[in-house]
C-alpha cells in the first residue's frame, strides 16, 4: 500500500513489495529523509508499539497556544476583529487535531465551531479551556492486531436539544472488530477486540421533533458511513466485512422488529429504511447496549467523560458489544418457524430432485456431510458429493470430492446443501419418494 500527500510518502507491504518499489523510487527521485517503523506522515507520528500501530500528534499538541484576553471582560462581550482572527486560528489548529487523533474533544470543538461566525469573550474562554484540556490529556489512536473474519461495528448516538442553543447533537464511532465469538482469555463475556477507524460529532441541521427521531437520524447517518468504510475495506483487503450496529436507543431495536408505523410523517421513510436494512441482511446484526457502553455517547454532550471510549481505544476491548443475542434470533416469522416458539434452526433434512438426493443443512457445521444413513427411498448413491456451503460472513464455497474417503472440515462454520447422485432407488418406496420430493420443492 502506498499513501502520497504532496511530498510525504508512506509505504507498507511485504519485503518483496518494499524492495521493488523502493529501488525504483530511489533510482528516479532524491529523498530528503527516510524512516522505518517510526515515521512522521503529514504531521502525524506513526510507530510500532509492541504488536500495535500507534498514531499520535504530540508535536502539534505542544504547539497549541491560548488566545490572549483582557482581564475583567464580560462573557457576553463580542470579540474584536483581532480576537476573532486569533479565535479562528486556534480553532483551525484544534480542528486538525480532533479530526485525526483527539477524538475525545469532538463535541467541545463542534460547539465552538458553531460560534465561530460571531464569537464572544465567553466562547474564547471556552476555547482556551479546550486548549488546556488537550495539552493536559492528549490521546493516541491504537490499531491493534485483529484475527479471523472481521466486521464493522457502528455506534450512533444523539442528544435531543441538549446544546446551549437548544439544538440537537449527533455522533458516531465506528470500529473494525473481530467476529462475534465466545469470550477469549483475558476478555470479559460479551466483549470483542477492535480498533477505532472513524468518528465524528455534529449538530443536526434539520428539524427533529423527538429523541427517537434524533436517534433514528443519527443511526442512518452512521449506517451510511459504515457502508462507505465497508467498500474501502473491500478495496484494501479484498474481504467483505459485515455491518453490526449498536445503539443505546432500545426503541430503535424493537421498532426494527415490528411492523407498526409512527405517527410523524417525516419519520415513516426512515423507519421503513431501518426495517429494510435490518431485515434484508445489509445490517448483519442490530442490538441494544447500555448507555455507559455506547462509545459515541461522550461525543454528544459535554457532561459525560470519555473515559470508557479512551479505554476501549487504548486496550482494543469493546465492552458489552455482544451481550445480547443475534437480532434475527428474536424475529419470529411463521414462514420460517411455522408458528412455533422455538427459534432454533430445524433439523437437517433430505430433498429429492430428478436423480439427485440433496441433504439440506440448517444448523451451522464445519465437517463435510457423511451419509451414515440413507433415506428410505434410496438404496445406493454415488461415491462423489458436491458441497455448497454458505458462510456467516456472506461468502460461499462449492467443493466436489469423494465422501467415502474424505473427512474434511471447512475452516469456517457453514450451512447449505450436500448433493449426491442416486444410483438406485428402493423399488417399494420409489414412487413415494418422488412424490415427497415434489411436495418439498413446491413448498
Report the pLDDT value the prediction gives residue 118, as an integer from 0 to 100: 93
Over residues 234-256, the mean pLDDT reads 88
Provide the pLDDT for residue 47: 94
pLDDT greater at residue 367 or residue 377:
367
pLDDT, tens digit, for every residue of 81-106?
999 999 999 999 999 999 999 999 99
Characterize the bridge pairing of strands 243-247 and 283-288: parallel
Q: What is the pLDDT of residue 5?
A: 86
In angstroms, the first-to-last Cα distance of the chain is 51
For domain 144-330, give the CATH number: 3.30.420.10
Query: What's the average model confidence in pLDDT over 37-43?
Result: 88
The average pLDDT across 154-174 equals 94
* H or E element, residue 141: strand 141-143
Q: What angle (nearest 5°) sits at the alpha carbon of residue 22, between those of residues 17 and 25? A: 130
Residues of the chain with CATH 3.30.420.10: 144-330
Q: Which residue has the cell 477507524?
A: 197
Task: Give the pLDDT band of residue 263 (cuts 50, 70, 90).
Answer: low
Q: How crowded is residue 110: how many other Cβ atoms within 10 Å of its Cβ?
A: 20
Residue 428 burial by Cβ neighbours in a 10 Å radius (0-12, 13-18, 19+) = exposed
Cβ proximity of 262 and 239 under 8 Å? no
Using alpha carbons only, give the angle 60, 63, 69 rounded to the nearest 5 degrees.
130
Tens of pLDDT, residue by residue over 195-206, are: 999 999 999 998
**Residue (of 294, 295, 322) closest to 190 by Cα position:** 322
Q: Is there a contact between 330 and 124 (Cβ–Cβ < 8 Å)? A: no
Reply yes or no on whether the pLDDT at 440 is more than 80.
Answer: no
Q: How far apart are CA 414 and CA 367, in angstroms?
A: 9
Q: pTM for this structure? A: 0.72
Least confident window among 37-46, 50-59, 235-244, 328-337 = 328-337
In the prediction, which pLDDT does 439 show? 36
Strand partners of residue 175: 153, 196
The residue-averaged pLDDT of 286-310 equals 93
Which range in 107-111, 359-363, 375-379 is most confidently predicted, on average pLDDT? Answer: 107-111
Gap between the Cα atoms of 40 and 33, Å rounded:
10
- If phi > 0 it is left, if psi is from -120 to 50 it is alpha, else beta; for residue 215 that is alpha
Residue-wise pLDDT tens digits, 419-433: 999 888 876 444 444
User: What's the grid cell of residue 246?
Assistant: 449498536
CA–CA distance, 10 with 123 (Å, rounded to integer): 38
- 10 close to 41: Cβ distance less than 8 angstroms: yes
Specify whether the CB–CB gap between 203 and 299 falls below 8 A.
no
String of b and e for 239-277 (b: at least 16 CB within 10 Å)?
eebbbbbbbbbeebbebbeeeeeeeeeebeebbeebeeb
31 — pLDDT class (breaks 50, 70, 90)? confident
Which uninterrupted H or E stretch holds 171?
A: strand 169-178
Examine the pLDDT at 55 and tell me if it is beyond 70. Answer: yes
Task: Reply yes or no on whether the pLDDT at 182 is more than 80.
Answer: no
Write the pLDDT tens digit of every residue in 216-237.
Answer: 999 999 999 999 999 999 988 8
Q: Give the pLDDT score at 183.
A: 47
Mean pLDDT over the full length of the chain: 85
* 428/426 Cα distance (integer angstroms): 6
pLDDT confidence of 332, banded at 50, 70, 90? low
Q: Cα separation of 241 and 392, whole Å?
A: 11
pLDDT, tens digit (0-9, with 9 covering 90-100), for 66-87:
999 888 889 999 999 999 999 9
User: What H or E segment, with its residue span, contains residue 219?
Assistant: helix 211-237
pLDDT attached to residue 341: 44
Q: What is the pLDDT of residue 16?
A: 87
Amino acid at each position: 500500500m502506498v499513501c502520497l500527500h504532496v511530498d510525504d510518502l508512506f509505504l507498507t507491504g511485504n519485503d518483496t513489495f518494499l524492495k521493488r518499489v523502493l529501488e525504483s523510487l530511489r533510482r528516479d527521485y532524491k529523498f530528503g529523509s527516510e524512516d522505518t517503523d517510526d515515521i512522521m506522515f503529514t504531521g502525524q507520528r506513526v510507530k510500532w508499539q509492541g504488536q500495535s500501530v500507534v498514531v499520535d500528534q504530540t508535536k502539534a499538541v505542544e504547539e497549541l497556544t491560548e488566545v490572549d484576553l483582557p482581564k475583567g471582560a464580560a462573557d457576553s462581550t463580542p470579540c474584536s476583529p483581532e480576537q476573532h482572527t486569533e479565535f479562528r486560528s486556534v480553532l483551525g489548529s484544534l480542528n486538525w487535531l480532533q479530526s485525526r487523533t483527539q477524538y475525545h474533544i469532538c463535541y467541545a470543538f463542534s460547539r465552538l465551531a458553531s460560534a465561530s461566525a460571531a464569537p464572544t469573550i465567553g466562547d474564547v474562554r471556552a476555547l482556551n479551556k479546550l486548549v488546556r484540556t488537550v495539552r493536559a490529556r492528549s490521546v493516541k489512536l491504537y490499531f491493534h492486531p485483529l484475527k479471523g473474519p472481521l466486521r464493522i461495528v457502528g455506534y450512533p448516538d444523539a442528544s435531543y436539544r441538549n446544546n446551549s442553543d437548544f439544538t440537537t447533537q449527533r455522533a458516531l464511532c465506528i470500529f473494525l472488530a473481530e467476529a462475534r465469538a465466545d469470550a477469549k482469555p483475558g476478555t470479559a463475556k460479551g466483549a470483542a477486540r477492535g480498533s477505532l477507524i472513524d468518528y465524528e460529532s455534529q449538530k443536526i441541521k434539520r428539524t427533529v421533533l423527538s429523541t427517537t427521531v434524533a436517534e433514528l437520524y443519527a443511526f442512518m447517518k452512521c449506517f451510511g458511513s459504515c457502508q462507505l468504510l465497508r467498500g474501502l475495506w473491500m478495496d484494501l483487503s479484498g474481504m467483505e466485512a459485515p455491518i453490526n450496529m449498536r445503539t443505546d436507543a432500545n426503541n430503535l431495536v424493537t421498532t426494527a422488529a415490528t411492523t407498526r408505523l409512527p405517527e410523524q410523517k417525516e419519520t415513516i421513510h426512515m423507519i421503513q429504511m431501518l426495517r429494510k436494512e435490518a431485515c434484508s441482511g445489509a445490517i448483519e446484526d442490530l442490538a441494544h447496549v447500555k448507555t455507559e457502553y455506547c462509545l459515541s455517547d461522550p461525543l454528544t454532550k459535554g457532561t459525560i467523560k470519555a473515559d470508557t471510549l479512551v479505554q476501549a481505544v487504548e486496550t482494543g476491548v469493546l465492552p458489552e458489544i455482544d451481550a445480547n443475542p443475534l437480532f434475527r434470533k428474536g424475529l419470529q416469522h411463521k414462514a420460517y418457524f411455522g408458528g412455533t416458539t422455538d427459534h432454533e434452526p430445524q433439523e437437517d433434512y433430505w430433498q429429492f430432485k430428478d436423480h439427485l438426493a440433496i441433504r439440506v443443512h440448517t444448523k451451522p457445521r464445519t465437517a463435510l456431510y457423511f451419509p451414515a444413513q440413507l433415506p428410505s427411498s434410496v438404496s445406493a448413491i454415488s461415491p462423489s458429493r458436491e458441497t455448497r456451503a454458505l458462510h456467516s460472513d456472506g461468502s460461499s464455497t462449492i467443493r466436489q470430492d469423494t465422501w467415502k474417503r474424505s473427512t474434511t472440515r471447512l475452516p469456517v462454520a457453514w450451512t447449505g446443501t450436500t448433493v449426491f447422485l442416486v444410483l438406485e432407488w428402493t423399488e417399494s418406496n420409489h414412487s413415494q419418494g418422488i412424490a415427497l420430493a415434489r411436495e418439498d420443492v413446491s413448498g
